Amino acid sequence: MHIHNISEQNSVLNTFLSEIRDIRIQKDRMRFRKNIERIGEILGYEMSKSLCYQKKSIKTPLGNSSINLLTDDLVICSILRAGVPLHNGLLNCFDKAENAFISAYRHHKTNSESFEIIVEYLACPDLENKTLILADPMLATGQSILSTFEALKPYGIPKEVHLVSVIGAQEGINFISKQFNSEAHLWIAAIDKTLNNNGYIIPGIGDAGDLAFGGKLQQ
């Protein structure tokens, strides 16, 4: 797998990362969602450099202009609900992309330290020979993004697979590197070293879904 850690080079991305991590600023849900969206735009821009282009002639009011335009058929698939702001950022870059959505959540059977990934809802177009972008803001253990990819297999074999995350744990990245083929790409804004006993990234940001949309309904 090709791993692209965008924060290895200084840019305005650092500002958005600092604000989603800052315990004071992240309490503003609107700003948190907007910062995730901005990060998605930056990751989408960086990813766009690796895609396929073809020269096109564009007619202007005063003549013709030649420019290389994207030719890939893109499908952006996000994991609900935390993935929605990241999805919006990617869609701002790739506004002609098709869209897929999937619900994947952790189900704790007996205690908080062991869980399985449950997939319940999936809406997806045909993926055959298209470029699939899997978006999940927090790449912790890697189980969610792998379960999502497995659930998408009946919809066709993509030409390329790009994973997009805001923050990932090294353990999760090591795991998915073994699960996806060597031609897959991971575009990520920052990589943290460890996970805690509950499978959350340290230092991370906390629960991205709760920070973006509020606490989950308790049943």
Are 173 and 186 in contact, with CB atoms under 8 Å apart?
Answer: yes
User: 168 CB contacts (<8 Å, ≥6 apart)?
Assistant: 138, 139, 140, 186, 188, 190, 191, 192, 201
- Listed by start position, the domains of the chain span 2-53+69-210
- pLDDT tens digits in sequence order for the chain, 219 residues long: 999 999 999 999 999 999 999 999 999 999 999 999 999 999 999 999 999 999 999 999 999 999 999 999 999 999 988 899 999 999 999 999 999 999 876 555 665 555 556 677 899 999 999 999 999 999 999 988 998 999 999 999 999 999 999 999 999 999 999 999 999 999 999 999 999 988 889 999 999 999 999 987 554
**Angle at alpha carbon of residue 48, lines to 5 and 123, rounded to 5°:** 95
Q: pTM of whole model > 0.75?
A: yes
CATH class of 2-53+69-210: alpha beta
DSSP 3-state assignment of 137? coil
